[in-house]
Structure 1
Amino acid sequence: MSCVNLCTWVQAGTSRSRSSPFKLLHPLKSHGFSFQFSKSQRPISSSFFTVSAVLTKQETVKEEEGEEKPTFNFKAYMIEKGHSVNQALDSAVALKEPEKIHEAMRYSLLAGGKRVRPVLCLAACELVGGHESMAMPAACAVEMIHTMSLIHDDLPCMDNDDLRRGKPTNHKVFGEEVAVLAGDALLAFAFEHIAVSTVGVSTARIVRSIGELAKSIGSEGLVAGQVVDICSEGLSDVGLEQLEFIHVHKTAALLEASVVLGAILGGGSDIEIEKLRMFARYIGLLFQVVDDILDVTKSSQELGKTAGKDLVADKVTYPKLMGIEKSREFADKLNKDAQDMLSGFDPEKAAPLIALANYIAHRQN
């Protein structure tokens, strides 16, 4: 496992290994990718690009004339995309017989949430020239799988949690047996939904996306991170390398799949897909670093879930190993490196991903 070197922070890189797609920070050239940036394609930095300054040629002229420059409305974008995703999820998982299992599936799937993963999928699709409709089934699928992981995480045999998104957890409402089956059903249906409902995309790209998603959640992806996380509880010798392994697999893998699926289904080239893969890998780890910080700095009411549970479970976290301030510095660095991977893309089309990275970095729950 190639881990983050916290002395020198993070250097941008990528991996396109089929056998283990979730390693961090391998040099680009060692995997056959060497991105040469022209002056016009150098990594995006806050010095010349921010989410609040996405300009078209016409708007640039207006700015030169002294008019106020336009802003990218991230809140409106998330509301619009979130509404589309919620409608698609509601339609995909209808309340039908057996009513009990579908009710349990819908209870957690439609309980709200930030819909970060499906929005990442849609934004990546549109960034490479695709249309939202091409990636919507995949966006719904990753949210179904994410919801499955939350239902199972909350079970008494796992994290034993009573609260999720401000509501009683699934097993508290429907019982442990139905909660397990609701998660299983969502997992199975996610793949069916991509296979059956994706339109306007070649069969080869649909199959490739299904394989990508399956690997991200299996024994080399989400499950791997979950198992190592469980086995690490209460241990005193867990270091940063093992902690990174846990979160690159447990948290970043599904975020990475969300972005990569969008890029594949949207018609992205291999180079574009791998750059977006690395972007997602950075923000995936960023998501967990921020989550660890919030767990020890916010209340249960503020988070909508039980606060301080990692401390109670004696889990290893970034604040525990690095302290709060160093963890925040690390989060800032991951955010910058993620945004650097969006160089060469149309800045206007990249604005949603830039905004999402900043949102993940600065979220409060």
Structure 2
Amino acid sequence: MSTWNNERVLVTGGASFIGSHLVEDLVAEGADVRVADDFSSGEVENLDAVADDIEVVDGNLKHYEFAEEATKDIDTVFHLAADHGGRGYISNYPANCATNMALDNIVYEAAAKNGVERITFASSACTYPTDIQQEKQRLSEEMVSFEERGGAYADEVYGWAKLMGERSLQAYQEQYDIDTSIVRIFTAYGPRENETHAIVALMAKAYAEQDPYQIWGDGEQTRNFTYVKDITRALRLASENITDGTPVNAGIRDYITVNDVAEAIFERLDWEPDEINHMTDKPVGVRHRAADTTRAEELLGWEPEYTLQDGIDNTLDWYVENRDKEYVQDNLETLLHER
């Protein structure tokens, strides 16, 4: 029998890109799912496939009364709600990202008060020090430490907020004996993601036939682009297998350049720009990022199942089917910069 059969589960931010995929997985596993979302970036359409099988509550989890209502009669919380976006967003809206510290603690406090048994927190690769990501070295969980002096050096305010979300959750585990787990998500992509994130931004520009085609930076910066269904499986496995707030990475071990992704997209769309404009004045984040997945393999039996090509094919098929080309062409700049 599934671990999730008849389990009462809350997914905060469940109408978001990653959240909606997780909700679908949990429904398929027999869970009784409630989604709490303020729809600031999530979309109700993301939940269309399971709309009849879930409960949706609309509100702001920074308001304690709403958080209390959302966590009532719940066994397990997957906490994904956050103010976030792609690199441009987190660079331009640091104060917005800082509010995640309040959000996380309000959700944890309400969950503890309501007797929730376990909480899984969606953290981020932005918790890792930026200075060690200029050369190619895979990031392992022990590279962040709360015990050592100088053991943490996160990536912008967003990364610090995620790191504080981790530390707060561990504190709730210590004080309230709640089972807790933390998944550090690395560069997720897939259907339903918006254009502020790298892969979908690259798809939008190619779909709109932007020429010269714009790539932020020299395009040789690498990321370990990880398909959303691999991420949601890691979240479920962490909730099932970890109780003490030990963080695990969910990402691939490969270093994939932005230029490689753009080429794969051009090939799939059977279109190529006459010129590529590498915009070296744009924010690009760290130089290289890939995950050491040893701990996830050992504790969860998890490793990625989707290749980059599988993921790009699935995502691009979804994008072309769901976006009107003329609309993307007319609104490209807005799509690339707004949440």
Considering Cα pairs closer than 8 Å and 6+ residues apart, tell me whether 1 or 2 has the greater RCO. 1
Structure whose residues are more often strand by fraction = 2
More helix as a share of residues: 1
TM-score (norm 2): 0.29
Structure with higher Rg: it is 1
Give me the TM-score of the superposition, normalised by structure 1: 0.27
